Amino acid sequence: MAAESNKPEPQDQWEHDVWLMGRRMALLYHYMAKAIIDEAGEARGKEIIKDAIWKYGRHCGDAVGKGVDAQGLPRTAENFRKVPDLPSRGWRSEVGSGPDGKPQHRTVLCPLAVTWKELREDALGRIYCFVDQAKTEAYNPCLECVHVHNVLDGDSFCEIVMRPKK
């Protein structure tokens, strides 16, 4: 990514390459979503986009679940991360403290969100984030996924909590 005063710099070539691919995916999503909204209208367009994101997320969550099953593990929140479905580089994370005091991963840089923020399309990009709820539901319908924080909502980091449904 080109250096600008408010843009992060990649730590290495791998991270740079992941950012390039993340940017391309974010741009593809953006232009496809805009075309859907232009064709179907805002309300119906957003419904179509949400439906597609939900199906995509369920596909991803099912794949994670099958990977956990193959390891002979139960589909718990703790085991969800044992089958990664995103690159190990490119999304920068830190460990903070969750609402229950347990360690909680926070994403401090998402290459997709960086692109949507550049385009000033936070709300449209935010629809994409519902992929996490769909992944969780497909992985284990007894769990729920909550975005406690999201940079596209104005927070300084993203924090996702996966917990048993109430």
For residue 100, the model assigns a pLDDT of 76
Q: Which of 78, 85, 98 is nearest to 148 (CA)?
A: 98
124 in any annotated domain: yes
CATH code of the domain covering residue 143: 3.30.1380
Taking the C-alpha atoms of residue 110 and residue 149, their distance in angstroms, rounded to an integer, is 13
17 in any annotated domain: yes
Q: Which of 133, 128, 99 is nearest to 115 (CA)?
A: 128
Higher pLDDT, 11 or 27: 27
2 in any annotated domain: no
Taking the C-alpha atoms of residue 146 and residue 139, their distance in angstroms, rounded to an integer, is 15
* Domain range enclosing 120: 13-164
Please determine, for residue 7, whether its predicted confidence score (pLDDT) is greater than 80.
Answer: no
Q: Count how many domains the chain has.
A: 1
Q: Which of 88, 160, 108, 154 is nearest to 131 (CA)?
A: 160
Torsion of CA 60, 38, 19, 66, to 10 degrees: 0
Please determine, for residue 30, whether its predicted confidence score (pLDDT) is greater than 90.
Answer: yes
Mean pLDDT within 74-91: 91
Please determine, for residue 80, whether its predicted confidence score (pLDDT) is greater than 60.
Answer: yes
Taking the C-alpha atoms of residue 135 and residue 64, their distance in angstroms, rounded to an integer, is 8
118 in any annotated domain: yes
Taking the C-alpha atoms of residue 138 and residue 121, their distance in angstroms, rounded to an integer, is 28
pLDDT digits (tens, 9 = 90+) for 130-156: 999 999 999 999 999 999 999 999 999
Mean pLDDT within 14-38: 96
3 in any annotated domain: no
1 in any annotated domain: no
For residue 112, the model assigns a pLDDT of 96
Determine contact, residues 149/157, Cβ cutoff 8 Å: yes
153 in any annotated domain: yes
